């Protein structure tokens, strides 16, 4: 009887998905008819078009600001960094709304419409004769910035909701789908890089040879088409129903712990309050928060209110979020390094010899393709070669832990900054810097692509896997905020270095003419910051406790013991 019952449960789990998701009719999803790769492919396509648009704009932004809007190099770099900061910080708000109120599917649709409005405004600004910069530079500049910041707002909802929605299509409690989910983030980034690759080659070439307006029209058309395809897959998707602010339970835990700060913790953690089944296993880190789960006997209704009593699961979810803060801080110098690829690296390339044969001149922004190729190659080799080998060597599903993968990427970024400094110094020491081939930039772009393949993908997995289940979109927002905060810090570093280097009438590191600047010293500064920070990161990562989840019952007995498994 017991054996046949277990067989029945297993068959039910194979036929239906029991991870709190629903199908388009609000019912438990059928495993065969929904989710997995059949749904993920629709989602990956719209990510491809979004990255095509974003990098078509981002990699040419420095060129547009300096050549069309006539901004100085350091002013253009600051404006580009501020825009990237806003664009990659907005997902925090978008992720919050997606998780708590709008739902991930609806957030993707609404944000894509806003994104389209931004692209259409850019196209209008660049095509309308009365709005061109030679007619009214101020009006053109104003509308241009409104357009790109509409793109920022669209990205703010699109990125966190879409990526978490894609990952939601795989059931973590199902062995086969759990393995597929690990590959999902790798192939998601391959599609992302394919969009980047076309954005910095085809789109940038169109901007340079045909016109900025025509390129913006193409981007808007591709985005509109991908939205139609995304909507066409609605029957195949697995949806998560939003349940209100994901931050409220975390705040309730902190308030409850503070209110019961004078109480003693019980010797046995089993005495702490919990509503079965327990999803996340109890840990001994940040034990002060455990006081929120102490049951006060005889306290009446007030003692059991949500601001006075929390479950062990809520406490552990709060611990997860707080434990992420040191990791987030330790990855910010990596974000500073990444910010240079689409700003100063591109500007360097514009000052070098870009002739590829007698008849073709490489557009400056197209050099960014080298970074995308490096990332695609790294992700493919990692997923198909390194992971299978490391699985056999370590016995773990991932091969190496997420934080080790991120650390490897950060190390590559430091080397990339050092190589960039050496190449820039050589360029400045050349009698005619403009005669130095742009191919000298290949190593630094390739190294940063490899760094992205390790660290960026690792950050995506880390912030998605380690946050509570009801904060997955916000987790992706946290990952993107590393790049956003890094870009903002890069702008502050430029301002500080400019002021310090120009004291006493000395030449600034950031002159109007890049050939009179000292970007090599700025790159060395970033490399040194990254190297010191890597030591800090190693210490923080070594002390980090991964999320431990309920992996089911141990053995076939009736003891009810729970086995906990770390999500590394």
In this prediction, residues 549-562 reach a mean pLDDT of 46
Q: Domain extents for the chain?
A: 36-242+331-549, 248-317
pLDDT confidence tier of residue 566, bands split at 50, 70 and 90:
low
Which residue, among 174, 150, 311, 249, has the nearest Cα to 471 in the 3D structure? 249
Q: Which residue has the higher pLDDT, 488 or 541?
A: 541
Please state whether beta strands 562-566 and 548-553 pair in parallel, antiparallel, or not at all (unpaired): antiparallel
Q: Domain 36-242+331-549 is in which class?
A: mainly alpha
In this prediction, residues 440-457 reach a mean pLDDT of 90
pTM: 0.79
Q: What angle do CA 306, 311, 313 make, to 5 degrees?
A: 130
Q: Which residue has the higher pLDDT, 477 or 228?
A: 228
Q: What is the pLDDT of residues 49-81, one digit of tens each?
A: 888 898 888 878 888 888 888 888 778 888 887
How far is the CA of 26 from the CAs of 20, 84, 125, 243, 401, in angstroms?
11, 38, 43, 14, 36
In this prediction, residues 388-395 reach a mean pLDDT of 80
Q: What string of H, E and C letters represents the secondary structure of 107-142? A: HHHHHHHHHHHHHHHHHHHHHCHHHCCCCCHHHHHH
Instruction: Give the pLDDT score at 382.
Output: 82
In this prediction, residues 235-243 reach a mean pLDDT of 88
Which residue, among 512, 522, 528, 534, has the nearest Cα to 421 in the 3D structure? 522
Instruction: Give the pLDDT score at 551.
Output: 57
Q: Quick check: 182 pLDDT over 80?
A: no
Instruction: Give the pLDDT score at 561.
Output: 47
Q: Quick check: 14 pLDDT over 80?
A: no
- For the chain, what is the mean pLDDT? 84
Do the Cβ atoms of 453 and 409 come closer than 8 Å? Answer: yes
Q: What is the spatial distance between Cα 382 and Cα 384, in angstroms, rounded to a whole number? A: 6
Do the Cβ atoms of 457 and 400 come closer than 8 Å? Answer: no
DSSP element (H, E) containing 257: helix 248-259
Q: Quick check: 524 pLDDT over 90?
A: yes
pLDDT confidence tier of residue 560, bands split at 50, 70 and 90:
very low
Q: What is the pLDDT of residues 327-382, one digit of tens each?
A: 999 999 999 999 888 888 888 888 888 888 777 888 877 777 888 888 888 888 88
Spacing of C-alpha 445 from chain mean position: 19
Percent of the chain with pLDDT strictly greater than 70: 92
Q: Quick check: 556 pLDDT over 70?
A: no
DSSP element (H, E) containing 184: helix 175-198
Q: Quick check: 421 pLDDT over 90?
A: yes
At a CB cut-off of 8 Å and minimum separation 6, what does 540 contact? 326, 327, 330
Instruction: Give the pLDDT score at 189.
Output: 73
In this prediction, residues 231-260 reach a mean pLDDT of 89
**Burial class (CB within 10 angstroms; exposed 0-12, middle 13-18, buried 19+) of 4:** exposed
Beta bridge partners, 280, equal 549
Do the Cβ atoms of 446 and 341 come closer than 8 Å? Answer: no
Percent of the chain with pLDDT strictly greater than 90: 24
Instruction: Give the pLDDT score at 563.
Output: 54
In this prediction, residues 490-516 reach a mean pLDDT of 84
Would you state the structure tokens that stand for residue 343, as one six-digit string?
């700003």
Q: Which residue has the higher pLDDT, 285 or 567?
A: 285
In this prediction, residues 156-171 reach a mean pLDDT of 87
């Amino acid at each position: 009887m017991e054996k046949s019952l277990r067989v029945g449960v297993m068959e039910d789990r194979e036929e239906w998905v029991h991870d709190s998701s629903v199908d388009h009719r609000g019912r438990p999803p059928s495993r065969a008819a929904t989710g997995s790769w059949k749904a993920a492919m629709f989602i990956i396509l719209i990510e491809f078009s979004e990255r095509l648009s974003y990098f078509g704009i981002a990699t040419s932004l420095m060129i547009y600001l300096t050549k069309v809007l006539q901004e100085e190099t350091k002013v253009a770099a600051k404006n580009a960094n501020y825009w990237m900061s806003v664009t990659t910080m907005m997902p925090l708000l978008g992720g919050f709304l997606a998780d708590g109120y709008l739902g991930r599917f609806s957030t993707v649709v609404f944000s894509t419409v806003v994104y389209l409005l931004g692209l259409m405004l850019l196209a209008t600004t660049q095509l309308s004769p009365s709005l061109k910069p030679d007619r009214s530079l101020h009006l053109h500049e104003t509308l241009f910035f409104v357009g790109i910041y509409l793109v920022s707002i669209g990205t703010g909802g699109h990125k966190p909701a879409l990526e978490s929605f894609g990952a939601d299509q795989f059931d973590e409690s199902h062995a086969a789908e759990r393995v597929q989910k690990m590959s999902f983030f790798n192939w998601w980034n391959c599609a992302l890089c394919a969009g980047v690759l076309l954005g910095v080659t085809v789109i940038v070439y169109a901007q340079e040879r045909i016109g900025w307006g025509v390129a913006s029209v193409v981007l808007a058309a591709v985005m509109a088409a991908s939205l139609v395809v995304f909507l066409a897959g609605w029957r195949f998707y697995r949806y998560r129903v939003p349940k209100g602010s994901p931050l409220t339970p975390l705040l309730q835990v902190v308030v409850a712990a503070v209110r019961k700060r004078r109480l003693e913790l019980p010797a046995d953690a089993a005495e702490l309050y919990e509503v079965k089944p327990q999803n996340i296993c109890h840990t001994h880190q940040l034990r002060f928060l455990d006081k929120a789960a102490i049951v006060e006997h005889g306290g009446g209704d007030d003692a059991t209110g949500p601001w006075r009593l929390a479950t062990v699961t809520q406490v552990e979810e709060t611990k997860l979020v707080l434990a992420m803060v040191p990791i987030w801080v330790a990855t910010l110098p990596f974000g500073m390094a990444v910010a240079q690829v689409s700003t100063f690296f591109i500007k360097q390339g514009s000052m070098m010899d870009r002739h590829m044969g007698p008849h073709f001149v490489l557009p400056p922004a197209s050099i960014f393709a080298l970074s995308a190729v490096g990332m695609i190659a790294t992700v493919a080799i990692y997923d198909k070669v390194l992971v299978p080998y490391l699985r056999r060597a370590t016995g773990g599903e991932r091969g190496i832990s997420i934080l080790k993968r991120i650390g490897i990427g950060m190390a590559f970024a430091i080397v990339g900054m050092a190589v960039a400094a050496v190449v820039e110094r050589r360029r400045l020491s050349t009698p005619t810097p403009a005669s130095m081939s742009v191919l000298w930039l290949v190593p630094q772009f390739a190294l940063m692509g490899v760094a992205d393949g390790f660290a960026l993908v690792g950050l995506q997995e880390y912030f998605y896997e380690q946050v509570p289940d009801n904060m997955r979109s916000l987790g992706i927002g946290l990952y993107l905020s590393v790049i956003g905060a890094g870009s903002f810090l890069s702008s502050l570093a430029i301002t500080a270095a400019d002021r310090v280097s120009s004291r006493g009438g000395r030449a600034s590191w950031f002159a109007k003419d890049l050939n009179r600047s000292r970007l090599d010293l700025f790159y060395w500064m970033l490399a040194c910051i990254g190297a010191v920070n890597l030591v800090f990161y190693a210490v923080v990562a070594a002390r980090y406790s991964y999320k431990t989840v309920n992996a089911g019952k141990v053995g076939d007995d009736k003891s009810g013991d729970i086995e906990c498994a770390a999500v590394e």
